Structure 1
Amino acid sequence: MTAQNQFGAIERRSLLKAIGAGAIGATGVIGSSATTAATNHDQTYYENPLYGPDFADPTIHRADDGTWWAYASNMSYSQNSDEDLVPILSSQNLVDWTYEGEAFTARPGWLYGSVWAPDVHYYDGQWVLFYALWPREDDDDLVPGIGVATSETPAGPFTDHGEILSNPDHPYPGNTIDPYFVEHEGTLYLFWANFAGVYVVELTEDLQDFRSETFQQIAGYAYEGPTIFHRDGYWYFFGATGDCCDGFDSTYEVEVGRSENLLGPYHDRDGTPMLERDEWNAGPTHLGDDERFIGPGHGDVAVDDDGSYWFLYHAYDTDGPETADVYGWPPARQLFIDRVYWTADGWPIIGGDETPSMSAPVPNLGQHPAPVDDGTYRIVSVDGRVLTVDGTDEGASALAITATTADESRAQAEWQVSRLSGGEYVLENAASGHVLEVENADTSDGADVQQWPWHRHPTQRWYLHGGSNGTYHLENACSAKFASAENESTANGMNVIQSSWNGGDGQRWTFEAVDDGDGPPPIGDNANAPTDITGDGRYEDVNGNGTRDVADVVDFFENLESPAIQDNVEAFDFSDNGRVGTSDVVRLFENL
């Protein structure tokens, strides 16, 4: 049942192998008491889109009180009164958003135009809003440009300070829109783009003028909507490419470059210099269409408390409107958010599979209580079969086998389970040292679940969601599908695959902690040491025979004062009062 792992036409396995196989020890597997806590799927999930029908070109920044603030373009050409002058949203969790009003009380006066592509930062004690001003009704007699405004509070109103930069001010072709501000080592930079290249110039200290001798190009004609940020030794450029505004026929997507230096040179994942990318949608896609969501792009990056990265962007929902109002304009580009995962060699994978998520685990999940503590477990299906692998080789398939068969190759049926900072889990096989993943990073129903060396791709990350009777669902972070016995079969030795959620027993698993040898010694005349069969750090199986029954209560009571019990209070403190006594005998009996 061991399958060769090849990617075929798209060669995604080649990509993963190129990423490199690191040691699973980097995840910090820790032997600990095996406590569990219910994690309800509905409580830990959000659904895209988050806000609409029009919140284009979003930018985001967080206030000191923890509130997230988002700002967007509004592109109504039909009625002046319909045009919000930079709509503002606030959120406590990056998912639930509240409309707060507009950034401006009146249009910036230096050009009669629509305010596009805001970029907001907190700098030097004030909220700073960079924005593009595009001539209303596409008036060719007016020249678009970038301005700046400031406010004491993120909700505004913002005071406009006028134009910084427009087309005649720089030596490059194209219009001057889509600003993005970066402060680095005391120097202030303004990036901009509009399918005529991505450029940068230094700003003066008051942010209201530019230094003409500092112009530079960093990417080719293919891009607009730049986002620039630093992570782990690299500067990343997220650029939008393709047609943004043709409704459901839009071709927008996100491509990425990176550099060790802010000003470049930037290269994409294929190694191509971003300066050479002059054709729409020609580079590797990091966020593109799926069957429902169209034209994702032009967003901003946020980092949550648990260290996870998130991309806030706009896209179309084909289950919703194509335009935002009765006039047929603007296009209904709604607000989306998706997790940014990172490969072992530092490339972003947005949304797990590089398409917008319809539903995904909430931000900051790593700060929620852990459903299962780090430790070594047997992962057992509801019908009693144990999750194992067909050998120790790379690519060996995961199987569901009977407990008797699993005892013959015990280590292959044991998993070192460790939670990552973002809330997902890595499952490392105790025999092989490889981790559980979905074959070829496949996102379709029926894809085989296998083991491969750790390379950090989302296909090797699993979310655990609590179900009924202490069971859990194992959801793959790349595909959003669930580990299940093939065809829902209960036969011994069936392959484990991924499938869409169906609520059946075939997708429900329990985590049985494996005794690490540090538990209490045998009690009384018993030959076997007690075991923690529920995974809660308490050794209810006092006689070590693998079950919890009246015989355990009797042995516990008869040996209550023995050193084997009194020297292991934490293991037998069933009443949770810090000591072991008759109340624990009663509690053990009550819990049978």
Structure 2
Amino acid sequence: MSATERPHHRRSRRAFRPATVLACLAMLVVPALPAAAVDQTRRAGHVSTTTGDDGLLGSLPVGDVVDPGPQQNYPLPGLVTGDLRAHDPSMVRTPEGYRLFATHDGVQLRTSPDRVNFQRNAAALASIPQWVYDRSPGGDVWAPDISYHNGTYWLYYSASTFGSNNSAIGLATSTSGQPGSWQDRGVVYSTNSGSNHNAIDPSLLVTGGNWWLSFGSHWTGIKLIRIDPATGLRHSTDRTVHSLASRPSAGGAVEAPYILEHDGDYFLFVSFDRCCAGTNSTYRIMVGRADNPTGPYRDRNGTAMTSGGGTQILASHQNIIGPGGQSVLRDSDGDLLVYHYYDANNSGIERLGVNLLGWDDQGWPYVY
């Protein structure tokens, strides 16, 4: 299959981001989950209720705990309510509660006081910049990534069209994070039809004083570039494009990278296979581990992710079809995996999924 024929698929989609936001917001207090919601989720048998150091009740309703080894019986998503039709969600915690950003409509924005009930707000972007229309004639934007650093909210997002790698990743910033408050900072990285990779699905990692942006979909897979912390744009002197993961024997079907640092290791979460086809979706969440942000990332069996490796941690089960487009929010009660899936019990519509991540005795993540 030629590069121009490769299915890009993703557009309508993805989920919650910032692994670095907790340190930046450590002093912020979010209202505790209402008692009625706690009681409801306890009755459902899906709630953890520890209290974090910041006073936030760690009350995310989660699925039943399962064995952290190879899994077939994955847990159901935790309880969430309200407006849940979100693709490619990325979430940040703020003094007022949580903000969830998602694909489409000028970057969809939802708010929640408790990480359970989500309400749709006005679009994050008051206007769409011209560089988006140069890649997406309809002005659609995809796969946002939200984080908070140095008193500023950083929103990376992408513009493309289905199946094309004439794509670009842009940046908008805001000091409040409110709808319409975002200032366009322009294009961070772009690709065209002659490129061997695709500039979509951005995700920011901040570690050891360095900023890194992972991105990519199909073609030659997942890439990583260095970012200037002063501007949020591409580093002016370090221009290396690192390759992190690819699937040469599977039509290039890997995308939606998110890198999480845990206990000195780096974990690359990606989505394999097909998104955005309702109950025909075959998305699944995979992970690999490395000593450095730039890799090499390997799965449990030692297979390099650049050679198609990856350890599966979540896939279709019961009515949960094609989970993927994932990100991770580091919150007071643990690492929260945020993703979308298609609901086989509700006409295959997209829905927000959330679960906590656990860590086994070999240091690998699992979903519970």
The TM-score normalised by the length of structure 1 is 0.45
Could you tell me which runs of 5 or more consecutive residues in structure 1 were left unpaired when the two chains were aligned.
1-37, 75-83, 323-331, 352-592
Equivalent residue for 1:124, pick from 150, 175, 178: 150
For 2:317, give the aligned amino acid: D
**Equivalent in the alignment of 1:193:** 216
**Equivalent in the alignment of 1:338:** 355
Query: Partner of 2:326: helix, strand, or coil?
Result: strand
For 1:73, give the aligned amino acid: T
Answer whether contact 2:80 2:116 (CA < 8 A) is retained.
Answer: no
CA–CA distance in structure 2, aligned partners of residues 55 and 108 of structure 1 = 22
Q: CA deviation at 1:62?
A: 1.3
- Matched pairs, number: 286
Equivalent residue for 1:215, pick from 241, 258, 266: 241
**Equivalent in the alignment of 1:302:** 329
User: Is the counterpart of residue 90 in structure 1 residue 91 in structure 2?
Assistant: no
Answer whether contact 2:110 2:119 (CA < 8 A) is retained.
Answer: yes
Deviations 1:259-296 (A, max 9, x none): 1211111111222111111xxxx743200011211000
Q: CA deviation at 1:187?
A: 2.1
User: Is the counterpart of residue 68 in structure 1 residue 98 in structure 2?
Assistant: yes
The TM-score normalised by the length of structure 2 is 0.72
For 2:127, give the aligned amino acid: A
Fraction of identical pairs, as percent: 28
**Equivalent in the alignment of 1:270:** 301
User: Is the counterpart of residue 182 in structure 1 residue 205 in structure 2?
Assistant: yes
CA–CA distance in structure 2, aligned partners of residues 161 and 139 of structure 1 = 26
Answer whether contact 2:201 2:257 (CA < 8 A) is retained.
Answer: yes
Deviations 1:348-369 (A, max 9, x none): 1113xxxxxxxxxxxxxxxxxx
Answer whether contact 2:190 2:199 (CA < 8 A) is retained.
Answer: yes
Q: CA deviation at 1:39?
A: 7.5
Answer whether contact 2:288 2:310 (CA < 8 A) is retained.
Answer: no
User: Is the counterpart of residue 42 in structure 1 residue 67 in structure 2?
Assistant: no
CA–CA distance in structure 2, aligned partners of residues 165 and 144 of structure 1 = 9
Answer whether contact 1:313 1:336 (CA < 8 A) is retained.
Answer: yes
Q: CA deviation at 1:149?
A: 0.5
Answer whether contact 1:101 1:155 (CA < 8 A) is retained.
Answer: no
Deviations 1:99-137 (A, max 9, x none): 2221111222213121100001112221110000124xx
**Equivalent in the alignment of 1:479:** none
CA–CA distance in structure 2, aligned partners of residues 223 and 238 of structure 1 = 10
Answer whether contact 2:82 2:119 (CA < 8 A) is retained.
Answer: no
Point out which structure has higher relative CO (alpha carbons under 8 A, 6+ apart).
2
CA–CA distance in structure 2, aligned partners of residues 168 and 185 of structure 1 = 32
Q: CA deviation at 1:147?
A: 0.4
Query: Partner of 1:245: helix, strand, or coil?
Result: coil
**Equivalent in the alignment of 1:111:** 132
For 1:276, give the aligned amino acid: S
User: Is the counterpart of residue 347 in structure 1 residue 364 in structure 2?
Assistant: yes
CA–CA distance in structure 2, aligned partners of residues 283 and 165 of structure 1 = 26
CA–CA distance in structure 1, aligned partners of residues 261 and 163 of structure 2 = 38
Q: CA deviation at 1:139?
A: 9.8
**Equivalent in the alignment of 1:145:** 168
Q: CA deviation at 1:203?
A: 2.0
Q: CA deviation at 1:305?
A: 1.9
CA–CA distance in structure 2, aligned partners of residues 174 and 61 of structure 1 = 28
Answer whether contact 2:121 2:179 (CA < 8 A) is retained.
Answer: no
Q: CA deviation at 1:95?
A: 1.5
**Equivalent in the alignment of 1:255:** 286
Query: Partner of 1:267: helix, strand, or coil?
Result: coil
CA–CA distance in structure 1, aligned partners of residues 185 and 355 of structure 2 = 34
Q: CA deviation at 1:184?
A: 2.2
Query: Partner of 2:239: helix, strand, or coil?
Result: helix
CA–CA distance in structure 2, aligned partners of residues 124 and 219 of structure 1 = 30
**Superposed counterparts of 1:136-535, under 5 Å:** 143-157=166-180, 158-168=182-192, 173-196=196-219, 197-204=221-228, 205-211=230-236, 213-221=239-247, 222-277=253-308, 283-306=310-333, 308-322=334-348, 332-351=349-368
Distance verdict in 2 for CA 1:187–1:251, change over 3 Å: same
Deviations 1:218-264 (A, max 9, x none): 11134200111111121111101110011101100000011121111
Deviations 1:361-409 (A, max 9, x none): xxxxxxxxxxxxxxxxxxxxxxxxxxxxxxxxxxxxxxxxxxxxxxxxx
Distance verdict in 2 for CA 1:39–1:185, change over 3 Å: same
Distance verdict in 2 for CA 1:183–1:117, change over 3 Å: same
For 2:346, give the aligned amino acid: G
Q: CA deviation at 1:144?
A: 1.4
Distance verdict in 2 for CA 1:173–1:162, change over 3 Å: same
Answer whether contact 1:146 1:166 (CA < 8 A) is retained.
Answer: yes
Could you tell me which runs of 5 or more consecutive residues in structure 2 were left unpaired when the two chains were aligned.
1-37, 48-60, 62-77, 248-252
Deviations 1:33-60 (A, max 9, x none): xxxxx97732864455645563000111
Q: Which has the larger radius of gyration?
A: 1
For 1:105, give the aligned amino acid: A
CA–CA distance in structure 1, aligned partners of residues 365 and 196 of structure 2 = 30
Answer whether contact 2:170 2:188 (CA < 8 A) is retained.
Answer: yes
For 2:118, give the aligned amino acid: W
**Equivalent in the alignment of 1:467:** none
Structure with the bigger percentage of strand: 2
Answer whether contact 2:288 2:311 (CA < 8 A) is retained.
Answer: no
Deviations 1:58-102 (A, max 9, x none): 111112x2622110002xxxxxxxxx2111112232212122221
